[in-house]
Amino acid sequence: MLEKALKGSPKYYMWVGFLLLVILGTSGFYIMQLMEGLTITGMSRDVSWGFYIAQFTYLVGLAASGVMIVLPYYFHHYKKFKDLVIFGEFMAIAAVVMCLGFIVVDIGQPQRMLNVVLFPTPNSILFWDMLVLNGYLILNVLVGWTCLEADRQGLPHPKWSHTLAYVSIIWAFSIHTVTAFLYQGLPGRHYWLTAILAARFLASAFCSGPAILLLVIMLTEKVTTFKANVEGLATLAKIITYAMCVNVFFFLLEVFTAFYSGIPGHTHSIVYLFKGVHGHHELVPFMWTAVVLGLGSLCLLIPPKLRDNMKLLPWSLAILVIATWIDKGLGLLIGGFNPTPFETIAPYWPTGKELMISLMIYATGALVVTILFKIATEVKQEIGASQKPAVE
């Protein structure tokens, strides 16, 4: 099926060429980082993880986009998702590829990366995260590719692919839980040291992931003959809405616990993020933007009339994505490291080079999505599944 990615319209070639150029151009910055070290980033002794790990954390959420389609389809036989399943799985592949990319660019000695496998250390959550992420990647490649190939040949899906699909649903929950465990088991990082962090990761993933997926599917509809089942899209929007409500609720639980108890360890990070301390207000505008956009997205998503308006929906989803990105891709990391163990504030801001290297990985992810979605839409076209009505 891979040959389908090689033949396309001039626009397709231009887009792929553009992405390749971006990857090529920005990889120069990665080479610079390899030669000079992570000193080219904005990270410091106190904020020792930065933009890379934050993007990794956010993109683990995108990997979950698939499961919100796969689960209703396989567990509840919700047939309206039939032609969406493959996009969920392919999006998960791209997301995990980006996750792994962000880990690789973050480590100081990437050539020693395999030490994690050579010296397996079960007491380290990073070891488990490596296992679940790679496992999830393999599961989605196997299930997605096999099912698409079977569809193309007009054959029923093999039985083992069903079994693996069930496994991948459970597995999807594990990748968020384990990623949250990376953070929530660390003594002395109060913003992370909370039992609800894993639940927050799941809720945030299950709204932001499908939101990005839905946006990409809408874009796919614009540039291909694919036409998703409208009712299916509406159901997905409903799932996103529920997940976002839960996400906001979980965050408010944190706020209550912190401020009603008044324990400084619990309040400090939240105060730093939303009000600023010791004259540092770096993140305040961002966090309040997240609040406004997050609540705004709920206002646009909860009323069925607004939610089912397919013209408005992309905007509601876009602001939801921005809000959740600020919360998890920015606030979570910087708020976790501040205040520092010395009760001081160490401001962090990514450098231009750091952003360029991140762009390299985002462009790689976009390339993977483009190629996989191209293959999937071509197969759908070939078998006449979920197609736009032919224009006379």
Partner 1 sequence: MNHTRRNFLKFAGLTAAGLCVASAGGVMAAGAGATYKEGAQALKAKRWGMVIDSKKVGTKEAIDVLAKACHDVHNVPNIPGKQNIMWIWAAGFEQAFDQPNNFMDEGLEKRQFPILCNHCTNAPCVRVCPTQATYKRPDGIVAMDYHRCIGCRYCMAGCPFGARSFNFMEPRLHLDVTKLNKDFPTRMRGVVEKCNFCVERLAQGKQPACVEVSNGAVVYGDLSDPNSEIRKILREHYTIRRKPSLGTEPSVYYII
User: Secondary structure of 261-273 in the HEC alphabet?
Assistant: HCCHHHHHHHHHH
CB of 117 to partner 1, least distance (A): 9
Q: Rounded to 5 degrees, what angle do the CA atoms 98, 181, 199 make?
A: 90
C-beta closer to partner 1: residue 124 or 309: 124
Tell me, residue by residue from 39 to 78, as one string, x for binding to partner 1 by CB under 8 A and - for no binding.
Answer: x-x-xxxx-xx-----------------------------
Outline where 153-283 has alpha helix (H). 159-184, 197-223, 230-261, 264-274
Q: Which is nearer to partner 1, 103 or 363 (CB)?
A: 103
DSSP string, 118-148: HS--TT-HHHHHHHHHHHHHHHHHHHHHHHH
Q: Three-state SS for 190? A: coil
DSSP 156: P
Would you state the structure tokens that stand for residue 375, as one six-digit string? 């293959």
Number of residues near partner 1 (by CB under 8 A): 46
Nearer to partner 1, 152 or 189 (CB): 189
Give, as ranges, the residues between 289 and 328 that touch partner 1 (CB under 8 A). Answer: none
What SS3 state is found at 22? helix
Q: How far is the CB of 113 from partner 1 (least distance, A)?
A: 6
We find the least distance from the C-beta atom of residue 141 to partner 1, in angstroms, to be 22
Number of Cβ within a 10 Å radius of residue 75: 11
Helix 159-184, helix 51-63: angle, nearest 10: 150
Name the DSSP class of 64.
G
When the beta carbons of 15 and 127 are compared against partner 1, the nearer one is 127
Q: Give the bridge partners for 387, in sequence order.
A: 226
Q: Which residue, 43 or 248, is less far from partner 1 as judged by CB? A: 43
Residue 109 or 153 with smaller CB distance to partner 1: 109
C-beta closer to partner 1: residue 110 or 135: 110
- Nearer of residues 43 and 172 to partner 1, judged by Cβ: 43
User: Residue 282 class from Cβ within 10 Å (0-12 exposed, 13-18 middle, 19+ buried)?
Assistant: middle
The distance of closest approach from Cβ of residue 102 to partner 1 in the complex, given in angstroms and rounded to an integer, is 12
Which of 116, 218, 271, 359 contacts partner 1 by CB under 8 A?
Answer: 116
CB of residue 356 vs partner 1: minimum separation in angstroms?
18
Amino acid symbol at 287:
M
The Cα–Cα gap between 129 and 122 comes to 10
Separation of CA 153 from chain center = 32
Using the minimum distance from each CB to partner 1, give the nearer residue, 104 or 295. 104
**Residue 197 interacting with partner 1 (CB under 8 A):** no
Distance CA 18, CA 329 (A): 26
Site for partner 1 in 120-159 (CB under 8 A): 121, 123-127, 130
CB of 249 to partner 1, least distance (A): 27
Contact 103, 56 (CB under 8 A): yes
- Is 254 a binder of partner 1 (CB under 8 A)? no
Give the distance, in angstroms, between the CA of residue 63 and the centroid of all CA atoms in the same chain: 5
CB of 186 to partner 1, least distance (A): 5
Q: State the minimum distance, in angstroms, from the CB of residue 333 to partner 1.
A: 10
Residues engaged in binding partner 1 (CB under 8 A): 36-39, 41, 43-46, 48-49, 103, 106-110, 112-113, 115-116, 118-119, 121, 123-127, 130, 182-183, 185-189, 264, 336-337, 340-344, 346
